[in-house]
Amino acid sequence: MENVSSTVSDLPLSDTPSSLRQWLAVAAVTIGAFAFVTTEFLPVGLLPHVASELDVLPGTAGLMVTTPGIIAAISAPGLMLGAGRMDRRHVFLLLTAMLLASNLLSAFAPNFTVMLVGRALLGAALGGFWTLATSAARRLVEPRDAARAMAMILTGVTCATVIGVPLGTFIASLASWRVSFMATGGLVAVALVAQLLLVPSLPSAAALRLSDLTLLLRRSHPRRSLLMVALVFGAHFSSYTYVTPFLLGDAHLDMSTITWLLLGFGVIGFVSNFVASAAVVRNLKLSVAAMVSLLMFALLLMPVLRHSEFGVSAVVLAWGIAFGALPLCFSVWIQRATPEQPEAGSALFVSIIQVAIAAGSFVGGTVVDHVGIPADFMLGGALALLGLAALASIGTEASEGAAIPCNATPE
């Protein structure tokens, strides 16, 4: 795994540069990816406000994260299997339109049941879009620019992962949580128009088959890699879903401080993503181990330092460093683990992340409602430790994926 390998490195290169229109198509998909993942994580920063107005417990409000995760876990492979040879451009447009409907339904939800319907609609669209986004990158530009296009779209996903929560919190602090959903809906509308105007036809010559997914799951290295991803994402979201109630009720910070702290989480995570790109090239396994370890210590220290505003702030920023780098690290890891079947690997990767988000936020919500938020952070630390154990168990098998050449396109 530590020998540099990429699923795009074996594509035939040419000296033909990509046109401005091609890069604008990539930008349109990037905006869509940012809007999708921002919408997914938006409730984390809004959770106390939504719980209060819609009259539910904070742990119950966590279902806003759990519900789309469950649906997306099914839709990631399910949509790719169902889409068959459908033009991927049409799939992009359909899924983005569903996201717009989800945001509007959530923004005007009169009760928590309607809110969950809106979040379920998000989940139905999310899994398929995230699977398609990176796999379509190499088809939108010339072969020589495929890696840059993939990195650009992944940056949109990463940015949403780390700044979607503070962005929603900031908007809510100025207006209300409903305005946060409406603002995100406006961003989705921009993405939809951009995709309609700029994304070209993307016909698919071959359809993803169920056997492609089962074949990967029979191999030890991809299977253990997915387990590692599930444990680490579960660790993060079992705790991060309830970080705002923790900072408000246990650390006794005011909402203004929390907003700025979560913004710092996002900014430092964004920087960490770019710094990690260089470290990943040099030593991927060490990079993953370092970031998972940092995540584990951050989660374990949060309850310990809750009476120190400086201590809690430092730990939140360290947490941002860890999670800012992890999506990139894991994305590259899975690419190298499944180079001969990139679309199948991507579908399973997205699916297992959504399972981890759903299970993590649900279990975390149960712990929060019955034991308390500090205990939930201890649970997250334990899951991160198990993720490190899964990483160690992979061992030298990590070279398995990098040794397999890949000349196929994802479509």
CB 251 within 8 A of CB 314: no
Residue 370 belongs to some domain of the structure: yes
Q: Tell me which range, 149-158, 187-196, 322-331, is most confidently predicted by mean pLDDT.
A: 187-196
Residue 259 belongs to some domain of the structure: yes
**pLDDT at 161 (0 to 100):** 66
Q: What domain range includes position 251?
A: 20-402
- When pLDDT is cut at 50, 70 and 90, the band that residue 401 belongs to is very low
CB 280 within 8 A of CB 334: no
Q: What is the DSSP string of 202-244?
A: ---SS---HHHHHHHHHSHHHHHHHHHHHHHHHHHHHHHTTHH
Please check the confidence at residue 410 and state whether its pLDDT lies above 50: no
273-324: per-residue pLDDT in tens?
778 777 776 788 998 999 999 999 999 999 999 889 999 999 999 999 998 8
Please check the confidence at residue 387 and state whether its pLDDT lies above 50: yes
CB 66 within 8 A of CB 365: yes
Burial category of 403 from C-beta neighbours within 10 Å (exposed 0-12, middle 13-18, buried 19 and up): exposed
Q: Return mean pLDDT, the chain.
A: 82
CATH no. for residue 248? 1.20.1250.20
Residue 7 belongs to some domain of the structure: no
The answer, as to whether pTM is greater than 0.85, is no
**All residues at 6 or more sequence positions from 165 whose CB lies less than 8 Å from its CB, including other chains:** 41, 42, 44, 45, 240, 262, 265, 266
- Indicate the angle between helix axes 63-83 and 342-370, nearest 10 degrees: 160
**All residues at 6 or more sequence positions from 211 whose CB lies less than 8 Å from its CB, including other chains:** none
CB atoms within 10 A of CB 267: 16
Residue 6 belongs to some domain of the structure: no
Burial category of 118 from C-beta neighbours within 10 Å (exposed 0-12, middle 13-18, buried 19 and up): buried
Residue 8 belongs to some domain of the structure: no
Residue 70 belongs to some domain of the structure: yes
- When pLDDT is cut at 50, 70 and 90, the band that residue 395 belongs to is low
Question: What is the residue type of 225?
Answer: S
Q: How many domains does the chain have?
A: 1
CA distance 340 to 321: 31
CA distance 269 to 384: 18
> Which of 181-200 are b and which e, b meaning 16 or more Cβ less than 10 Å from the residue's Cβ?
bbbbbebbbebbebbeebbe
Please state, for a pLDDT cut of 90, what percent of the chain lies above it: 33
CB atoms within 10 A of CB 318: 17
CA distance 355 to 69: 6
Please check the confidence at residue 367 and state whether its pLDDT lies above 70: yes
pLDDT mean over 340-350: 76
Residue 409 belongs to some domain of the structure: no
Residue 46 belongs to some domain of the structure: yes
